[in-house]
Structure 1
Amino acid sequence: MTPPTPPALRRPAWAGRNYTLLTAAAVVTGLGSSGALIAAAFAVLEAGGNGTDVGLVAASRTVPLVLFLLIGGAVADRLPRQRVMVAANTLNCLSQGAFAVLVLSGEAQLWQMALLSALGGTGQAFFGPAAEGMLLSSVSGEQAGRAFAFFRMGMNGANIGGAALGGALVASVGPGWVLAADAVAFAVAAGLRAFLDVGAVPDREPGGGLLADLRVGWREVAVRPWLWGIVAQFSVINAVVGAAEAVYGPLVAEEHLGGAGPWGIALAAFGAGTVGGALLMTRWKPRRILLAGTLCVFPLALPSAALAVPLPAWEVTAAMFAGGVTIEVFSVTWMMALHQEIPEDKLSRVASYDWFGSVTMVPVAAALAGPAAEVFGRTAALWGCSVLIVLLTAAVLTVPDVRRLTRRVPEPSAGGGPAAANPPPPVVDGSPTPADS
């Protein structure tokens, strides 16, 4: 007789096969990729490059990510998302493996590293929308928010651990072996995702081509003011937060906080805050999901304000932790809203527009951060970052559906996915409104 599984080891009912595989694969790639970002920068420096060359290789990954994101979303809604994810992971595995071989051989040249980084960004452009669509369609019922929170907690924890481990390994064994480990992580993740069950996913109806698919995806965004409003909000917020952390933060830390050590602790506190925010969302189920999430964006202005003063290092660290907790609350409520309101067969296209808005302005802001500090002064530029976050968040709260969109419990489906390919009308303030799709 087989002994019963102890309760502590029993998988929760909401954590189905696909959800479990997706979460495990995300943890594996998070561990590898976080360290690989550090390794790539040091690989460029070891090859004789300078700070400009490091930025060039980083930009080589970002540019194709932006260029191909929308196409990736359309492809992921047309083809089985599982195949798109596995193909993208395979491309990332091969590109990182080649990167590792070049670095370990000591023959890596700048153009080769830039090209391989571009291939990695291309893979991410196709992977991201497919993965988000697959995750959102892998859970259903009242526990969807808890499932998204646990997923993000695992992913954020892996990113923190991967960055710490990657930095230590780059110092001890060199960047080439860290890049090789990342290639192995992508291979393992592709293997896990190959076992995803897509039998319950409804067949895709024939479409009118790539451009028609993109237009349909845009319509899904355009008819929902809460959706395009928040995407527009975060196109700027992500950019100014990235500029504050990547450009202004290290300079303030060098002059006022005690150098790289305290700044590294502050960044780690932000990461720890995201884990704490996800843990909070495993228990909290706000009724008005977007109202709760959007209110939690306001504290994201605290780190820039703390750097503008500047406050002592421990207070900057506390502000970073608070920003991490609250932005993670928003992230989970945002996933809940997309899961609830977007038809299953359009999830990846909507996710691609979301991603596109989130990343497009980041390199622009990073490039303009230095000139802005020269014209207005660094303190004024940092206060400007905080003010933009507050004003844009307040503006989004004027959208009625952001304040009123209510969490509902869908009927469970036999296949373990979403309750329906076309969800029922959104519940706003307890009263149903016409469906947007």
Structure 2
Amino acid sequence: MKGPALAPLRDRRFRWYFSSRAVDLLGDIMGSVALVFAVLEVSDSPSALGIVLAAHSIPMVMFVLIGGVLADRFGRTAIIQLSNVTAGVTALAIAALILSGNAEIWQLALLTAVNGVAAAANQPALAGLLPQLAPEGALQQANALNGLLRNISLVVAPALAGALVVGVGPGWAIAINGATYFVSAALLLPIKLPPPPARKGGDSIVKDLRTGWGFFRKTTWLWVIVLAFGMLNALASGGFSTLGPAHAKASEIGIHGWALILSAGAAGLVTTSIVFLRVPLRRPLLYGMLGCAVYAGQMIALGSTTELWVLLIAAFVGGAGIEIFGLGWELAMQEHVPSDMLSRVYSYDMLGSFVAIPVGQLAFGPLGANFGLQRMILIAGVAYFAISLLTLVSRSVRSMTRTPATSTTSVPVS
């Protein structure tokens, strides 16, 4: 392994982390795609699908702040492992219900809710762990490699899930996802990091939350983007993730075509990740929000046509745009937020960004049924485009530049 692009992989701990994420991502993305069609198999209703998806996101939103505190207090690797084991158990239970033919919507919603609680602990811990493992001076490369891994999984996993759903049914894909959670947890065992900083006797969970909130509300670029993503994620989860597969199944696009659309978007993500292994991203939030505006194009296309070749191009370009935002956001957070509160601040980011997802999932099903699936997808895409550009009114978003990480590496946290 030579050159700065692959520098993080020369670190043994980063390689174990990278292997764990590879297994986790492949199974999780495949399981997520399969779950959508499992629900539509049990109940051919966009509203039922919205209920199951919201059952995951609601507890994730409710408990994500506690998840950030736990990660900063007790060690990020331990919290990730515990949440993975919990998610593995719930995925295997869902698979058993589907394969036995006894699944009902309320059962899927209940088990998915438990998985959402596990995700509430997992996500802030994962976000805070990567900068600890990135070699000095290679933070962008570490994030780009992590993004590349995620995006390759997004190319491979939906196609594999689509083949399994069509060939043997969605239950087997979800069962594989359950097994990958356990393997991913085991691969983190060799990573040894210093323990979290000792807490004073009066340092309660509430105090930790207040500290994180104080930083959040005083940082303009942070709350502006999070506020915007509260609306953007509602539009994407409702307009694209909920109505998209229902529209595909009901039209000539089909299940296989939907899987190809997801894979095309992931191909755009992969291409962008490779580019930014070597090309520095100097203005992370300016270019990131312009990338979000580009991402809206795939919803606008899906709401305007059923020509598969047009949708595949739009998905590829949209994937490239949203990956620019993803990398820019990670760099902004990791270089401008102190390490000892990074998981907590990420949890506030996730709370604000994800809080409206259940609203989108629950609202767009009935809206699509009443006003038309394709029309509502188009409206969501246009609104997404407008909100993305509106964030650039904030000077703190437009003008942010890269800052060498100093405070972010001063306090080791496991």
CA deviation profile, 1:113-157 (whole Å, cap 9, x unmatched): 333222211111111111111113322533211110110110121
User: Is 1:421 paired with 2:400?
Assistant: no
Alpha carbons 2:272, 2:323 under 8 Å: kept: yes
Q: In structure 2, the residue corresponding to 1:285 is in which secondary structure?
A: coil
User: Is 1:348 paired with 2:343?
Assistant: yes
Q: 1:378 to 1:129 in 2, by over 3 A?
A: same
Deviation at 1:21, TM superposition (A): 2.0
Match of 2:199, as an amino acid?
A: E
Alpha carbons 1:140, 1:419 under 8 Å: kept: no
| Higher mean C-alpha displacement, 98-107 vs 326-335 | 98-107
Query: What does 1:307-326 align with in structure 2 at a 5 Å threshold?
Result: 307-310=302-305, 312-326=307-321
User: Is 1:205 paired with 2:199?
Assistant: yes
Deviation at 1:347, TM superposition (A): 0.9
Which residue is 2:290 aligned to?
Answer: 295
User: Is 1:80 paired with 2:75?
Assistant: yes
Percent identity of paired positions between Structure 1 and Structure 2: 32
Which residue is 1:432 aligned to?
Answer: none
User: Is 1:59 paired with 2:84?
Assistant: no
Which residue is 1:268 aligned to?
Answer: 263
Q: 1:169 to 1:220 in 2, by over 3 A?
A: same
Alpha carbons 1:299, 1:322 under 8 Å: kept: yes
Match of 1:74, as an amino acid?
A: V
Q: In structure 2, the residue corresponding to 1:284 is in which secondary structure?
A: coil
Query: What does 1:378-417 align with in structure 2 at a 5 Å threshold?
Result: 381-410=376-405
Match of 1:272, as an amino acid?
A: A
Q: In structure 2, the residue corresponding to 1:296 is in which secondary structure?
A: helix
Distance in 1 of aligned mates of 2:32 and 2:368: 27
Which residue is 1:37 aligned to?
Answer: 32
Q: 1:225 to 1:193 in 2, by over 3 A?
A: same
Structure index of larger Rg: 1
Deviation at 1:327, TM superposition (A): 0.9
Match of 1:191, as an amino acid?
A: A
- RMSD of Structure 2 on Structure 1 (CA): 3.1
Distance in 2 of aligned mates of 1:356 and 1:13: 30
Q: 1:179 to 1:323 in 2, by over 3 A?
A: closer
Q: 1:216 to 1:268 in 2, by over 3 A?
A: same
> Which of the residues 126, 149, 155 maps onto 1:154?
149
Alpha carbons 1:240, 1:385 under 8 Å: kept: yes
Alpha carbons 2:72, 2:196 under 8 Å: kept: no
The two structures have a TM-score, normalised by structure 2, of 0.87
Q: 1:291 to 1:41 in 2, by over 3 A?
A: closer
Which residue is 1:99 aligned to?
Answer: 94
Deviation at 1:390, TM superposition (A): 3.3
Q: 1:64 to 1:15 in 2, by over 3 A?
A: farther
Alpha carbons 1:145, 1:333 under 8 Å: kept: no
Which residue is 1:427 aligned to?
Answer: none
Alpha carbons 1:74, 1:214 under 8 Å: kept: yes
CA deviation profile, 1:223-257 (whole Å, cap 9, x unmatched): 11101101111111122123332355457657886
Distance in 1 of aligned mates of 2:271 and 2:388: 22
Distance in 1 of aligned mates of 2:183 and 2:241: 31
Deviation at 1:283, TM superposition (A): 1.7
Deviation at 1:175, TM superposition (A): 3.8
Q: 1:15 to 1:387 in 2, by over 3 A?
A: farther
Deviation at 1:402, TM superposition (A): 1.5
Alpha carbons 1:14, 1:140 under 8 Å: kept: no
> Which of the residues 208, 220, 240 maps onto 1:245?
240
Distance in 2 of aligned mates of 1:372 and 1:173: 32
User: Is 1:333 paired with 2:328?
Assistant: yes
Q: In structure 1, the residue corresponding to 2:361 is in which secondary structure?
A: helix
Match of 2:29, as an amino acid?
A: S
Q: In structure 2, the residue corresponding to 1:421 is in which secondary structure?
A: coil
Match of 1:159, as an amino acid?
A: L
Q: 1:186 to 1:370 in 2, by over 3 A?
A: closer
Q: 1:224 to 1:140 in 2, by over 3 A?
A: farther
Higher helix proportion: 2
Alpha carbons 1:100, 1:177 under 8 Å: kept: yes
Alpha carbons 1:307, 1:316 under 8 Å: kept: yes
Deviation at 1:318, TM superposition (A): 1.4
Deviation at 1:322, TM superposition (A): 0.8
Distance in 2 of aligned mates of 1:86 and 1:189: 8
Distance in 2 of aligned mates of 1:113 and 1:253: 22
Which residue is 1:224 aligned to?
Answer: 219
Which structure 1 segments of 5+ residues have no match?
1-5, 423-437
Alpha carbons 1:31, 1:163 under 8 Å: kept: no
Match of 2:351, as an amino acid?
A: F
Q: 1:403 to 1:57 in 2, by over 3 A?
A: closer
Which residue is 1:141 aligned to?
Answer: 136
Q: In structure 2, the residue corresponding to 1:287 is in which secondary structure?
A: coil
- How many residues are paired up? 409
Q: Which has the higher contact order (CA 8 A, sep 6+)?
A: 2
Alpha carbons 1:66, 1:356 under 8 Å: kept: yes
CA deviation profile, 1:192-212 (whole Å, cap 9, x unmatched): 12222212x552433532222
Distance in 2 of aligned mates of 1:99 and 1:223: 43
| Higher mean C-alpha displacement, 318-327 vs 33-42 | 33-42
CA deviation profile, 1:359-391 (whole Å, cap 9, x unmatched): 221221233335555787767645543443333
User: Is 1:181 paired with 2:176?
Assistant: yes
Alpha carbons 1:136, 1:339 under 8 Å: kept: yes
